[in-house]
Amino acid sequence: MDVNSYLVEWLAKEHLRELGSALARQQLAASVRPRSPLRVRLGLALIGLGQRLQGSRTRVAAPAAGASAAS
């Protein structure tokens, strides 16, 4: 079986060219994808902050409630 090195090289270059154009399309699509509005990002940040504050308050309050019930 005789392998044509020119043909193999051409096929490899063609495949790399196709991969490059697919990557360019993906990058273009990612750059124009809409970001969430500021009010949504701000709302999610405030919810996350509230959950962290509640979580820390719950951890601090739990031992004090257990100590007064034992007394």
Q: Render pLDDT for 6-39 as a digit per residue (tens, 0 to 9).
A: 999 999 999 999 999 999 999 998 888 787 889 9
Residues 29 and 53 in one domain: no
DSSP H or E stretch at residue 11: helix 5-32
Residues 28 and 47 in one domain: no
Supply the pLDDT for residue 31: 87
- Residue 56 banded pLDDT, cuts 50, 70, 90: low
Domains in the chain, number:
2
pTM value surpassing 0.85: no
Q: Which domain holds residue 62?
A: 36-71
Backbone angles phi, psi at 55, to 5 degrees: -65, -45
Residues 8 and 27 in one domain: yes
Residues 40 and 71 in one domain: yes
Residues 2 and 14 in one domain: yes
Residues 69 and 47 in one domain: yes
Supply the pLDDT for residue 40: 93
Residues 22 and 5 in one domain: yes
d(CA 5, CA 11): 10
d(CA 14, CA 7): 10
Provide the terminal-to-terminal Cα distance of the chain, rounded to the nearest Å: 91
Supply the pLDDT for residue 32: 87
